[in-house]
Amino acid sequence: MKRIRARNIDKDEEAQIMGIPLYILIIVIIATISLAAIMGFMVTREASINNVEIRDVEIDGELEDELYCDDIREDGHAYYKGSERPHPDDPDDTLPPEGNYSEHLIVTVYDEDGNEMPGVDVELTGAGVDSVGTTNGTGQVELSLDGLHLTPGEDNAKLEVEATADGLIGSETASASIWVRRKTG
């Protein structure tokens, strides 16, 4: 009886060893299919953010490519009247934006197919401005012009608008410039 048992154990062990390659083959097939599905999703997602464009920069509903700093101070600084700025007579006080001047600009971000892109991070920097935001469902973000000014001797500068869309594989960035000019005369 012991001999029969020993043979059965040997046959069971041999069968288990012979089945290992089959198990490995099944695991490799499942892993390959899973990896292909993940990569297919990533490639499809990446294509939608390839070539981010900043096509519209609006101030008070008008497309603009330049702004004028026309609040010129005795110290040579020129401020944009749409930004909060130092009071000329009291350095501890500020002046609010004036009349029909806007405190902000609106940037619209599009993908390569002309569709508005929600969820894109946008940054506005330069000429005393540092403002960030994220585009809404219509691809727009409102950015503050607070602090916009030119320093003494500076007749123009650029505001840089940079949009960054993150995907599963890296990110895509686009930029645009808006000229800021000192109003003369």
Domain ranges of the chain: 1-47, 53-182
Percentages (nearest 5) of helix, strand, coil residues in the chain:
25, 40, 35
Q: Is domain 53-182 given the CATH code 2.60.40 in the classification?
A: yes
pLDDT tens, position by position, 76-130: 899 988 778 888 888 888 888 887 677 888 888 888 788 888 889 999 999 999 9
pLDDT tens, position by position, 13-65: 655 556 667 778 788 889 888 888 777 665 544 434 445 566 656 766 677 77
Backbone φ and ψ for 8, nearest 5 degrees, come out as: -65, -40
Q: Say if residues 49 and 171 touch (Cβ distance below 8 Å).
A: yes
